[in-house]
Amino acid sequence: MTTLSRPRGLLIDAMGTLLEPAAPVAVTYARKAAAVGITVSPEQIGPAFHAAYRAAPPWRFRTGR
């Protein structure tokens, strides 16, 4: 009989599969910013968010091996 080791973590890609945002991400960020006194429009956030995401280094995950 094979003994399975206990998983140390679980990664689920939920956005767009299990979850749908109530509003576009840029709209949500603009609302949260406004709640703390920062004035920024979704039109400003959208391109900046995409640029930051593209500029980020690739994600790296340890597999335990």
The pLDDT tens digits along the chain (65 residues) read 678 888 888 878 777 788 888 898 899 999 999 999 999 999 999 899 889 988 988 877 666 65
pTM: 0.58
Residue type, 45: I
Report the pLDDT value the prediction gives residue 62, as an integer from 0 to 100: 64
| CB-CB contact of 4 with 64 (8 Å) | no
Question: Which residue ranges make up each domain of the chain?
Answer: 25-55
How far apart are alpha carbons 52 and 59 in whole angstroms?
A: 14
pLDDT, residue 59, reads 76
pLDDT for 51 equals 92
